[in-house]
Chains A and B, each alone.
Chain A
């Protein structure tokens, strides 16, 4: 069974204090790894798709990287508006398109 584990579960950061979130995965035949941002009571907002080891993608203060076993979401000089739960999900080549999600990294950025 596909497994996705995110750590740390919760993180409190001072504004400007850079940090990284980890997503470890165990799958057979990775089709894609996805990062989403979710605010309380809202649906997940798509951030990135990574397809192969060594790939990196950036968006504003966020940078996602991928290896054969894990992905990192680096938050550089975070601002309070970066406070959210960040979700990692994987999709495999079984033809069923389902996303298997981790439980998320809850990030709070303190001004």
Chain B
């Protein structure tokens, strides 16, 4: 069974630009979560989508946004990039909104110069 996939693997942007990151959950999973892993800060919760709806967001500014498509894949958009947005962005999926376990993808490394 294929795991969570993310693209691209690496992304280099300049300050002020926009970045789009993509995630495909495990087949059959309806919930998708986004986390940011910046150096020295640990994993921080960003967003949760289930059945196409945003269910919760973490303590991040509105320039971090996303959506979930009818096939349950998801997209994370970061507008007006700042240097401190450089991090590993991880997507996770779970079977449903009631499920406990979250399974992570390999991540997208975003570098802002």
Contacts and interface: CB of A to CB of B under 8 A. Distances in A.
B1 interface: no
Interface stretch (B12-20, B66-74, B99-107): B99-107
Nearest to B109: A41
Contacts of A43: 4, 90, 104-107
B31 interface: yes
Interface in B11-66: 31, 33, 35, 41-45, 48, 55-56, 58
A100 B88 CA distance: 17
Interface of B: 4, 31, 33, 35, 41-45, 48, 55-56, 58, 88, 90, 94, 97, 100-107, 109
30 contacts: A32-B100, A34-B100, A34-B102, A41-B107, A42-B107, A43-B90, A43-B105, A43-B106, A46-B101, A46-B102, A49-B100, A49-B101, A87-B43, A89-B43, A91-B100, A96-B48, A97-B31, A97-B33, A97-B55, A97-B56, A97-B97, A98-B33, A98-B45, A98-B56, A99-B35, A99-B45, A99-B102, A101-B43, A102-B42, A103-B41
